[in-house]
Amino acid sequence: MAMTMASTATGVLAFSSVPKNSDPPPSSSSKVCRSSIVAVSCVSHCVCSATSGSTSTVTEQANSQKFIYSRASPSVRWPNLKLNENYPPSQRPTHVVEDVGLFENTHDSVGKEEIREIGEAGLELGEEPLEILGKTSKNRVKKMTKLALKRAKDWRERVQFLTDRILGLKSEEFVADVLDAREVQMTPTDFCFVVKWVGQSSWQRSLEVYEWLNLRHWYSPNARMLATILSVLGKANQEALAVEIFARAEPAAGNTVQVYNAMMGVYARTGRFGKVQELLDLMRSRGCEPDLVSFNTLINARLKSGALVPNLGIELLNEVRRSGIQPDIITYNTLISACSRDSNLEEAVKVYDDMVAHRCQPDLWTYNAMISVYGRCGISREAGRLFKELESKGFLPDAVTYNSLLYAFAREGNVEKVKDICEDMAKMGFGKDEMTYNTIIHMYGKRGQHDRVLQLYNDMKMSGRSPDAVTYTVLIDSLGKANMMKEAAEVMSEMLNAGVKPTLRTFSALICGYAKAGKRVEAEKTFNCMLRAGIKPDHLAYSVMLDILLRFSDSGKAMKLYQEMVLNSFKPDHALYEVMLRVLKKENKEEDIHRVVKDMEELCSMNAQVICSILVKGECFDHAANMLRLAISQGSELDRENLLSILGSYGSSGRLSEARELLDFLREHSSGSHQLIKESLIIMLCKADQLDDALREYSEARDFGLFCGSFTMYESLLQRCEENELFAEASQIFSDMRFYGVEPSNNLYQGMVRTYSKMGFPETAHYLIEQAEEKGLLFDDASIYTNVIEAYGRLKLWQKAESLVGSLRQKSKMVDRKVWNALIHAYAASGCYERARAIFNTIMRDGPSPTVDSINGLMQALIVDGRLDELYVVIQELQDMGFRISKSSIMLMLDAFARAGNIFEVKKIYNGMKAAGYFPTMHLYRIMIGLLAKGKRVRDVEAMVSEMETAGFKPDLSIWNSMLKLYTGIGDFKKTAQVYRLIQEAGLKPDEDTYNTLILMYCRDRRPEEGLSLMHEMRRVGLEPKLDTYKSLISAFGKLLLLEQAEELFEGLLSKECKLDRSFYHLMMKMYRNSGNHSKAEKLLGAMKEAGVEPTIATMHLLMVSYGGSGQPEEAEKVLDNLKVEGLSLSTLPYSSVIDAYLKNGDYNIAIQKLMEMKKDGLELDHRIWTCFVRAASLSQRTSEAIVLLKALQDTGFSLPIRLLTEKSHSLVSEVDKCLEKLGPLEDNAAFNFVNALEDLLWAFELRATASWVFQLAVKRSIYCHDVFRVAEKDWGADFRKMSAGAALVGLTLWLDHMQDASLQGYPLSPKSVVLITGTAEYNMVSLNITIKAFLWEMGSPFLPCKTRTGLLVAKAHSLRMWLKDSSFCLDLELKDSPSLPELNSMQLMEGCFIRRGLVPAFKDTNERLGNVRPKKFARLALLPDEKRDKVIRADIEGGKEKLEKMKKKVGVKRRKLVRRKLSRGVVLPRPAELLYQKKKS
């Protein structure tokens, strides 16, 4: 608010108005909207054109458009009083609200000319009293004569006449032409008024009048004229001219208080408090005592020179009083106006209270200023109270009062109150003036009602009010904030067209708008245009331009602008420094960063701690670390946030060593910050994902009791533990946190609820939820509750899940659907279908509606409860209710039936799903192929893979692994190898399942060496084989008696400290047993005990079997005796081991003796003993020996075997069937082993018909597979694996008989080739493969060994049918019993082959001399007598040798001919490299 100077020459105070800068102050947050470049160019051009003229032109133009407050006249200020005056209304501006709320820091509710110029009004009353300056006026006005009154009226006409003539002069005309004419008679006082009135329009003409009067010496020099011209020059901001005139003034005129006051007013206008103080001191030194006007001017200058400091107003008042002068209403109003301008309510209240305390009555100006300061501070209630108070005190509110009150409520956005005030103004005769419109426009602009803003703007122009710079600035700022930059540019154009010069604030508002819209080019053009217009940027303009350049990463221009800004004494704020440093760091401009840091130190005088904080926020962490060291060295306290940010940067970039160096420095130089340093280290390690190190540091600190920890540290540790699923550690840290009294946040509570739920402690998680709710922390995320409910479900604690949902229902009207679904799944986990269905019905009734997840939960409940058949019923019910069964529900059903192994239902669901339009997914194909592979449905699997590839899916590794397991399981090793090649061709990386399956395949194919090499490859790629894989390899090596390799694998497992179970030790014992290394078996038993694996009866059984296999039954008996001594409860197993050892050794009598001892010991004989004796009888040389063994069994109560040999077998069918029925459920394959031994016995002693029906009973009882041979299924294949030799020969004969019938009848048709699977394993040291080959070779069958797989015999179907029809061996395939038992066993065990006794010499001779021969050739040789067979074999050998020699000769001749041909033609075969060169050349 401008303060005026006062004069007390004649008892009347005179004040000269000090105009305030018309530019609005910067807006703290001017935002910009969008606009076109064309609009910007147009506006820029207009602005530049409008501001390119001379200074005088600009000033005159500004004056012509200057906002004039027309209510300075009392008749206008108070229209309701209907006052009439005899003098023209004043043209001086009064109260201008430049801000209207937009620029709150400089809003002034007191007008520029509101300070009343009482002195000047007094000058107008007459000449004479005013010519004598310096005299004290009296309080009463003297009564004037008629002549004096007439003269007082005439002077106005004279002054106005000359003023009009002078102002009417053209630029090339002079003032002297008017004054020299002397058209009217003027007094010196009249000339003073001429200088003043002319100066109101043109200070240049006013100065010309003053200089002309000095040149002509038409009046004696007086202080009044000097004071008047100084006041005119001061108002025109012509300080230099004023100083020159004051300096050359004559002492008589210049050394008066009025002149000094006028000169101080010139300096006060620009806030040059120092100069005013100097003049005051000069004034006193010359003996001229300052008056109240002098002190008021001094106060005004001080208030303009800088911001108010606390208690400044009271100090200034006290200074006035110390000079012996009492402050008056002008003094107080000046101070309160300054407080209003700075929105300093506290200081304004102090001054007002002092005013009341010193009995200085407030006037209207005082109330206006106080209403303004309350409004600016947002206390509209107090502003309204003062408004009512001033009315109660008899003051009439004027336009300033109403506008100040209007601003107070507009600032709060109280639209209704603003409307009421406007209505009151209208009732009082006040229309909306420019200030009113500005205030209301800004209010609606802040509310975002931009249509209303434009409407008010148009109303303002329609009502005859001229928008000023404030109006346009408010409009541009409001539109910019609304991103309406096109409209903002149009307003700028209108402003220029109206002749209103844009101010700094106008340009700033437009620049801010463009900056907000990201229009860098337009912002730069506007900024450059402002510079060309001669307007210097302020802090806001520089900051906005710098910010937008930095946002566009134009660091070059930004740094130039920054340097210009600094040179103009403007300092960027901290936020701007942060943005600048961030951009410079991003572009690695280290020199510029150093320069900025230096400026912060030297120009901004920031301490190291503040600079460190700015560097941290600017992401210049290395510089921040150095500055932090400097700050600590200077004694500053360690700032927690800065340290954490720096360490976080080091941690995320992996620079842990530098971080530790910094921490070591801080630990050394900041003695009181050890706890903070430790915490910071832990937080940094967490951010660097070094959780193990962080936990170690935390554990050390906790163990030593160094600190209790901060929330940030616990939060970092807990978050990292949760991310890394270290739930136990998270639980411990959370417990520590609670123990030390650190309160968790909402997020930490939620994280720990999730953690405890995943740990399987839903009760703890539930407790945390209740605890958080007691503290007022509510979880908006429904997943928190679902996690707990799901955890309850996994533990089958559905009752507690029920209680949690019940509490949620009490707290909320509507429970989240996810919570209901989680409860349904919790019931489903326990198979509680009925409860799940009840919840389903509840949400169907009350909402929210069920989802697919709800339906799946119902189905899962049935699946868990094993009620798969009811799934179809539930599906039908849901469909009747209008639900569409989703693909996921169908997949759930399919997966359930797949896990149950129900291939039929799975295929039915699969086909139904495809029929319903649901296309199979990759997951579905995995399930289907996996199930079919487990069921060994080879053709279905291959068809599914083909269908999958047709649908565009490529088999993944999981599917290939299923196929590998399938082919390995059925023994089709050739296809297994093909699948592995396909995996490699597809570029898939084999996993553990792949390698383990392939190794198993090699083991089963009796190729363990290749399996071992594959295991080495598996380890090289970082995969570890399963223990079962090791077991398969050891077993395979053991079967091939490759003891070294097996032992190496076993020792390797022991060296790795693998926890091996008994099966490994048993496997090794079996291997030692088969190889006869009983000593190693004994050592292995000791090693087993040392490894902590206690031997069982089965273990000792294996050891005894090992002794028995090596022909040392006595040692086996010693083991048995030891077991008896130990007092163990023995079963028949160890006894059977000893008995079997004696039987295999041929010590039948001892075996029978042991049998009797066993009976005496009270043990009841079981299937093991029966099987041992029956098997020994089947291998005995003579029938008598067999009878003795079987009678021993008969004596112990089991007579069935001997009765089968000696009685009619048909009468024993039912007994055999009952026996097999009893043996079926027993362990150790009791029925299977007994039937195999019985079949060997019956076949050996030629009771083959009996063997046939026993075989069929075994098939009936599922002891043997139903598909042993599959002629009826059009497969014609057979599989005799795991059968004993006798059982296999019985089955083979029956199979040949079936195929013969089919060949003769022509149905069922045979495939192209017939496969017989014998396997490669041995059963009781008998090789089934060799036994069957010998039998078929003797018959001259067309079966030949498979070339690709061992254990397979293959025959072409046509050859097989012809052989079955025509061969003499096949004339009678019926199995018959011999009329009497033979004296000798018809079969003999020879080198693992159970062969006909009469065939042994021929078989032995042929194999030893000729090796493997074709079946027909073997059959011919076997039928020949020994002598003829010998001759044939010798002839065959000789013929083979001759044939070999002929072939060698033939090959040599061919080679010689080839060499000759090459030499004769002179051709030299080129090397591959030469071929390649010739090809390129051609």
- pLDDT (tens digit per residue) in 25-58: 333 333 333 333 333 333 344 344 433 333 333 3
At residue 1232, the pLDDT reads: 92
Least confident of 103-112, 738-747, 1172-1181, 1437-1446: 103-112
| Residue 261, C-beta contacts closer than 8 angstroms, at least 6 positions apart | 5, 6, 7, 227, 291, 293, 294, 297
pLDDT, mean over the chain: 79
At residue 1457, the pLDDT reads: 56
CB 784 within 8 A of CB 754: yes
1264/1258 Cα distance (integer angstroms):
6
At residue 153, the pLDDT reads: 61
Longest CA–CA span in the chain (Å) reads 186
On the question of pLDDT at 138 being above 60, the answer is no
861/823 Cα distance (integer angstroms):
11
The predicted model gives 1331-1355 an average pLDDT of 86
3-class SS letters over 568-581: CCCCCCHHHHHHHH
| Residue 1043, C-beta contacts closer than 8 angstroms, at least 6 positions apart | 1037, 1071, 1072, 1075, 1077
At residue 1177, the pLDDT reads: 93
On the question of pLDDT at 287 being above 90, the answer is no
At residue 1175, the pLDDT reads: 92
3-class SS letters over 925-969: HHHHHHHHHHCCCHHHHHHHHHHHHHCCCCCCHHHHHHHHHHHHH
At residue 1202, the pLDDT reads: 92
Least confident of 371-380, 625-634, 995-1004: 625-634
CB 263 within 8 A of CB 16: no
At residue 253, the pLDDT reads: 59
255/235 Cα distance (integer angstroms):
22
pLDDT band at 81 (very low <50, low <70, confident <90, very high): very low
At residue 48, the pLDDT reads: 41
On the question of pLDDT at 502 being above 60, the answer is yes
The predicted model gives 341-346 an average pLDDT of 82
On the question of pLDDT at 157 being above 80, the answer is yes
At residue 214, the pLDDT reads: 79
The predicted model gives 271-289 an average pLDDT of 83
| Residue 1331, C-beta contacts closer than 8 angstroms, at least 6 positions apart | 1285, 1288, 1289, 1393, 1394, 1395
What's the predicted TM-score (pTM) here? 0.49
pLDDT tens digit string along 1233-1290?
Answer: 999 999 999 999 999 999 999 999 999 988 988 778 777 777 788 888 889 999 999 9
CB 1284 within 8 A of CB 1324: yes
The predicted model gives 691-715 an average pLDDT of 76
On the question of pLDDT at 1223 being above 80, the answer is yes
pLDDT band at 705 (very low <50, low <70, confident <90, very high): low
436/900 Cα distance (integer angstroms):
85
pLDDT tens digit string along 872-887?
Answer: 888 888 888 888 888 8
For residue 688, give both structure tokens.
């660097």
Least confident of 167-181, 205-219, 1162-1176: 205-219
| Residue 955, C-beta contacts closer than 8 angstroms, at least 6 positions apart | 925, 945, 948, 949, 963, 982, 986
At residue 181, the pLDDT reads: 78
For residue 239, give both structure tokens.
């300080």
At residue 750, the pLDDT reads: 87
At residue 1293, the pLDDT reads: 92
For residue 1469, give both structure tokens.
């075969």
On the question of pLDDT at 1174 being above 80, the answer is yes
At residue 1284, the pLDDT reads: 92
The DSSP H or E segment spanning 1356 is strand 1352-1356
At residue 221, the pLDDT reads: 57
3-class SS letters over 252-296: HHHCCHHHHHHHHHHHHHCCCHHHHHHHHHHHHHCCCCCCHHHHH
At residue 1354, the pLDDT reads: 92
| Residue 480, C-beta contacts closer than 8 angstroms, at least 6 positions apart | 30, 31, 32, 33, 488, 509, 510, 512, 513, 514, 516
CB 276 within 8 A of CB 297: yes
Backbone angles phi, psi at 393, to 5 degrees: -85, 0
Least confident of 628-632, 976-980, 1220-1224, 1341-1345: 628-632
The predicted model gives 341-354 an average pLDDT of 84
On the question of pLDDT at 1057 being above 50, the answer is yes
pLDDT tens digit string along 199-251?
Answer: 888 888 888 888 888 777 665 557 888 888 888 988 888 888 888 888 877 66
The DSSP H or E segment spanning 1355 is strand 1352-1356
